[in-house]
Amino acid sequence: MVKLSLIQFAPEISNKSGNLKKIEEFCKKSQGDIILLPELATTGYAYPNTESLLPLADKLTQNQEIVKYFQDLASFRDSLIVVGLPEVSEQEGKVSLFNSVLAVDKNGIVEVYRKLHLFGREKKIFTPGSQKPPVFSFRTYKLSLLICFDWVFQELFRLLSLQGVQVVLHSANLVLPWCQRSMIARALTNGLFIATANRIGREREGLDELTFTGGTQVVSPQGELLGALNDDESILEVEFDPAQADKKTIGTNNDRIKDRREDIYKLEWVVKSSHDWEDLKKMAVKAKSNAYTPYSNFPVGAAVMDDRGFIYGGCNVENSSYGLTMCAERSAIFSMVEDKGRKIKKMVIASNSGVYPCGACLQVIAEFADEAEILILNNNGDEKRCRLSDLMPHRFSKLDLT
Amino acid sequence: MVKLSLIQFAPEISNKSGNLKKIEEFCKKSQGDIILLPELATTGYAYPNTESLLPLADKLTQNQEIVKYFQDLASFRDSLIVVGLPEVSEQEGKVSLFNSVLAVDKNGIVEVYRKLHLFGREKKIFTPGSQKPPVFSFRTYKLSLLICFDWVFQELFRLLSLQGVQVVLHSANLVLPWCQRSMIARALTNGLFIATANRIGREREGLDELTFTGGTQVVSPQGELLGALNDDESILEVEFDPAQADKKTIGTNNDRIKDRREDIYKLEWVVKSSHDWEDLKKMAVKAKSNAYTPYSNFPVGAAVMDDRGFIYGGCNVENSSYGLTMCAERSAIFSMVEDKGRKIKKMVIASNSGVYPCGACLQVIAEFADEAEILILNNNGDEKRCRLSDLMPHRFSKLDLT
């Protein structure tokens, strides 16, 4: 069983220290193993532009003051705190502002999620996220994070359910009337718990006044409301067993996940998470099982990741003329190129004995890589790691043609 | 504006002629441009096995008696009738029973849809469909068809919305309590109208008694209930403008469809419709735009369809060594093989001037095809159609090796 505390309150615009103080009081009162707070809980919502919010935004890396603040709060009852706040990030001299949630425990940052689907004027203020929502463990439970308007995009819930997520922690500043009752269908048809912590209160946005709707709630995989607040400042405490989400059956003959017709429709992440190598290894091994090798009986699978994080598989394809046989490595690269990929970052090559790529493949890899990390896998799962430059120290390239 | 008549009644089990008579009376009373009836409206629902329902099932091809019957009814007010009924089909000596809906107008069959997601004991009685739901026009409106338990599978609604469907006609025999209110979220987040015609009454299924829940309803893309019935025998007449579904915006800055993050997640049909050639041509032309041809400046795109109906793209990928250059045709085939495809059915090759495949590609095509239809496209959209046997009348194949 996990205890969830959802905190519904009205952050005061521009009063960050006041809001943090209030959050601290709430957190200390909460009984939850997990404490979920609304979107932009430290700063309030309706800023006119990026510049006005930027000074209140935090970097979300370990040892930042704000992280330590929540880390201390999480230590108080050994809980996981999930809080919405503006995140500033500097990369290659470019400053970006994200609408993020931070998940933190007594050891520091667990995950950061940057809102993928920005709502209304947020589009003018924030940079949208570019990574899929994290899937992570807390105790024995599998969790993920979403923010407010993300709720409209059903693909997220389905994909998280397919990844085994049991509880979606949804941090919100809702102003539209539809989310809360729609979450019943989202939870039910994906078979997971959805906890929405929404704020209350009003803020002026230009000429409009925004009214945040409260209605903080937790919905079960059976579409039941396990608890809900109205529009007052309050904590919702709900206890349930996340493992119930593992049961996807409906009645005796149906299953919300297994009954999906993957032969008819296909849903998948385009962007992969940080577990690149695991994804690549899996794909290479799977590709190997599809190799067409009636002549050599020497199957090889390959998976390549480009600089956009997209991954492609390939297997060897033999031919009765022998000379037109194609290697797994090149086959994967050709798929990448067809999908606009032009730069190889990582590659996994899987074969029974763990062979290195042939010279022809090295030449084609070199066409699309300044450098590439290559992992060679054999049947026993033994790994050899190398770089293109180890395998082909002197390259012939298009530069030699000019 | 379109007028929809949704007929809610209790078909009597095994009394097909009685049910047809009742349906006829309802249809003649209805004012709708479109008349939507429940699932298995001609026969009732709770049959113990395939054998007991088979004698009441119909072939759904033009000129069948049942088709003419509904065609006549549709002529009465020049309407479209959508009715659920058991369909028998014979292919290569194998008899299959489908849970289908027939859409028919005064000219005969418009579409037939075979239920993709079977519920409960249906799995023991029916063969599941193997084609995606049809997307078709009636007057100026774009419609699709779903049946009962299909409602759980959000992928269908999203994909139909992405194809521009305005109204989903949902023929049902619902016994679970969740569908009707969940359709609010389905309609709202996909921006389309959903009309559910459900039956009422009770039937005994083995030891259980099934109670069909009525609640026939129409929901708008704004999530409003445009009309709903309770659990009595009745016709629901609703009038609305399907073109409202074309507006996918929410507020001033958001759009339910355009805001989707196709860079993060990807949803697509696996099975393609009968418009194979159009799909293949589009894919080949798109692949061509991704060709890597810094040396020849001669881009080629190819798309191949295998015997499962799956399609794959490829483009040419050049190399500074020239000899390791790969053609678009082979690149596409390698992708097919990597995805377990072993038999080529159709292929489109797109280039500026409409060139034929090279000998090396012919040899690789031949490895995976007894025969293949090949369409050669040039920049002006001119098409040349041929077969592999036209291009390579005498083949060297693996048979020659033995």
Contact between chains at B189 and A152 (C-beta distance less than 8 A): yes
**pLDDT exceeds cutoff 60 at B275:** no
Q: Which DSSP helix (H) or strand (E) runs through B400? A: helix B398-401
From the CA of B21, how many Å to the nearest CA of chain A? 34
Q: What is the pLDDT of residue B58?
A: 96
Can you tell me the mean pLDDT for A298-318?
A: 90
Task: Give the 3-state secondary structure of A228-249.
Answer: ECCCCCEEEEEEECHHHHHCCE
For B95-124, b/e burial (b = at least 16 CB within 10 A) is ebbbbbbbbbbeeebbbbbbbbbbbbbbee
Q: What is the mean pLDDT of chain B?
A: 93
- DSSP H helices, A163-236, are 179-190
User: Which residues in chain B are contacts of A131 at CB distance < 8 A?
Assistant: 264
Q: What is the pLDDT of residue A163?
A: 86
A94: helix, coil or strand?
strand
Contact between chains at A338 and B326 (C-beta distance less than 8 A): no
Q: Which of B224, B134, B136 is nearest to B183 (CA)?
A: B224
Residue B173: pLDDT band (50, 70, 90) is very high
Residue carrying structure tokens 């956009």: A308
- The residues of A that are catalytic are 39, 115, 148
Q: What is the pLDDT of residue B82?
A: 98
Question: Which listed residue (B22, B115, B142, B346) is catalytic?
Answer: B115
Residue A326: strand pairing partners = A317
A224: helix, coil or strand?
coil
- Assess contact for B127 and B115: CB atoms under 8 A: no
pLDDT in tens, A361-377: 999 999 999 889 899 99
Q: What is the mean pLDDT of chain A?
A: 93
B221: helix, coil or strand?
coil
Q: What is the pLDDT of residue B90?
A: 85
Question: Which listed residue (B39, B87, B111, B329) is catalytic?
Answer: B39
**pLDDT exceeds cutoff 70 at A276:** no
User: Which residues in chain B are contacts of A260 at CB distance < 8 A?
Assistant: 153, 155
- Assess contact for B13 and B43: CB atoms under 8 A: yes
Q: How buried is B227 (Cβ within 10 angstroms: 0-12 exposed, 13-18 middle, 19+ buried)?
A: middle
Q: Which of B334, B343, B344, B358 is most worth mutating to test chain A (most A CB atoms within 10 A of its CB)?
A: B334
Contact between chains at B265 and A267 (C-beta distance less than 8 A): yes
Residue A340: pLDDT band (50, 70, 90) is confident
User: Which residues in chain A are contacts of B152 at CB distance < 8 A?
Assistant: 189, 250, 256, 259
- Assess contact for A270 and B266: CB atoms under 8 A: yes
Q: Which of B220, B338, B397, B401 is most worth mutating to test chain A (most A CB atoms within 10 A of its CB)?
A: B338
Q: How many helices (H) and strands (E) does chain B have?
A: 11, 22
**pLDDT exceeds cutoff 90 at B205:** no
Contact between chains at B401 and A342 (C-beta distance less than 8 A): no
User: Which residues in chain A are contacts of B257 at CB distance < 8 A?
Assistant: none
- Assess contact for A316 and A293: CB atoms under 8 A: yes
Question: Which listed residue (B27, B148, B179, B315) is catalytic?
Answer: B148
Q: Which two tokens stand for residue B16?
A: 């097909």
Q: What is the DSSP string of B183-218?
A: HHHHHHHHT-EEEEEE-EEEEEETTEEEEEE---EE
From the CA of A148, how many Å to the nearest CA of chain B? 13
The set of residues, in sequence order, having a beta carbon less than 8 Å from that of B105 and lying 6+ positions away, is B71, B74, B78, B79, B80, B81, B138
Candidate from B120, B290, B320 with C-beta closest to A338: B290
Q: What is the DSSP letter of B58?
A: B
Contact between chains at B264 and A132 (C-beta distance less than 8 A): yes
Can you tell me the mean pLDDT for A370-387?
A: 89
Instruction: Indicate the residue type of A100.
Output: S
In terms of CA atoms, which chain B residue is nearest residue A367?
B319
Q: What is the pLDDT of residue B22?
A: 97
Can you tell me the mean pLDDT for B295-302?
A: 96
Q: What is the pLDDT of residue A398?
A: 84
B63/A129: higher pLDDT: A129
In terms of CA atoms, which chain A residue is nearest residue B359?
A324
- Assess contact for B344 and B333: CB atoms under 8 A: yes
B70: helix, coil or strand?
helix
Can you tell me the mean pLDDT for A377-396?
A: 88
User: Which residues in chain B are contacts of A271 at CB distance < 8 A?
Assistant: 263-264
**pLDDT exceeds cutoff 80 at A274:** no
User: Which residues in chain A are contacts of B178 at CB distance < 8 A?
Assistant: 184-185, 188, 223
Residue A212: pLDDT band (50, 70, 90) is very high
Residue B375: strand pairing partners = B348, B385
From the CA of B72, how many Å to the nearest CA of chain A? 34
Q: Which DSSP helix (H) or strand (E) runs through B103? A: strand B94-105
How large is the C-alpha radius of gyration of chain A? Answer: 25
From the CA of A179, how many Å to the nearest CA of chain B? 8
- Assess contact for B269 and A262: CB atoms under 8 A: no
Candidate from B270, B287, B319 with C-beta closest to A265: B270
Q: What is the DSSP string of B277-340?
A: HHHHHHHHHHHHHT-B-TTT---EEEEEEETTS-EEEEE-B--TTSTT-B-HHHHHHHHHHHTT
Contact between chains at A324 and B360 (C-beta distance less than 8 A): yes
**pLDDT exceeds cutoff 60 at A12:** yes
Contact between chains at A265 and B132 (C-beta distance less than 8 A): yes
Q: Which of A207, A283, A338 is most worth mutating to test chain B (most B CB atoms within 10 A of its CB)?
A: A338
Q: Which DSSP helix (H) or strand (E) runs through B181? A: helix B179-190
Candidate from B120, B130, B331 with C-beta closest to A253: B120
User: Which residues in chain A are contacts of B224 at CB distance < 8 A?
Assistant: none
Of A49-58, A91-100, A361-370, B329-338, the range with the lowest mean pLDDT is A91-100
- DSSP H helices, B30-64, are 50-53
Contact between chains at A250 and B400 (C-beta distance less than 8 A): no
In terms of CA atoms, which chain B residue is nearest residue A191?
B152
Contact between chains at B333 and A321 (C-beta distance less than 8 A): no
For B291-308, b/e burial (b = at least 16 CB within 10 A) is bbeeeeeebbbbbbbbeb
Candidate from A176, A267, A314 with C-beta closest to B338: A314
From the CA of B182, how many Å to the nearest CA of chain A? 5
CA angle B331, B337, B342 (to 5 degrees): 125
The answer to whether residue B203 is catalytic is no
Residue B277 CB neighbours (<10 A): 16
In terms of CA atoms, which chain B residue is nearest residue A183?
B185
Q: What is the DSSP string of A11-67?
A: PPTT-HHHHHHHHHHHHHH---SEEE--TTTTT-S--SSHHHHGGG-B--STT-HHH
Half-sphere exposure of B329 (CA within 13 A, CB side): 27
Q: What is the DSSP string of A302-363?
A: EEEEETTS-EEEEE-B--TTSTT-B-HHHHHHHHHHHTT---EEEEEEEESS-PPPPHHHHH
% of chain B surpassing 70 pLDDT: 99
**pLDDT exceeds cutoff 80 at B271:** no
**pLDDT exceeds cutoff 80 at B276:** no
The answer to whether residue B115 is catalytic is yes
Candidate from A253, A333, A367 with C-beta closest to B121: A253
From the CA of B222, how many Å to the nearest CA of chain A? 9
* Beta carbon pairs, A and B, within 8 Å: 241
Q: What is the pLDDT of residue A322?
A: 92
Task: Give the 3-state secondary structure of A357-393.
Answer: CCHHHHHHHHHCCCCCEEEEECCCCCEEEEEHHHHCC
Half-sphere exposure of B72 (CA within 13 A, CB side): 10
Contact between chains at A155 and B254 (C-beta distance less than 8 A): no
From the CA of B19, how many Å to the nearest CA of chain A? 29
CA distance linking residue A110 with residue B25, whole number of Å: 64
A214: helix, coil or strand?
coil
In terms of CA atoms, which chain B residue is nearest residue A323?
B360
pLDDT in tens, B353-395: 999 999 999 999 999 998 898 999 999 888 888 889 888 888 8
Q: What is the pLDDT of residue B382?
A: 87
Contact between chains at B319 and A259 (C-beta distance less than 8 A): no
Residue carrying structure tokens 């193993």: A33
Can you tell me the mean pLDDT for B241-265?
A: 94
Candidate from A189, A295, A319 with C-beta closest to B154: A189
User: Which residues in chain B are contacts of A158 at CB distance < 8 A?
Assistant: 154-155
**pLDDT exceeds cutoff 80 at A290:** yes
Q: How buried is B130 (Cβ within 10 angstroms: 0-12 exposed, 13-18 middle, 19+ buried)?
A: middle
Helix, strand, coil share of chain B (percent; to 5): 25, 35, 40
Q: Residue A387 to residues A322, A347, A356: CA-CA distances in angstroms?
A: 29, 10, 11
Domains of chain B: 2-255 (3.60.110.10), 276-401 (3.40.140.10)
The set of residues, in sequence order, having a beta carbon less than 8 Å from that of A49 and lying 6+ positions away, is A124, A125
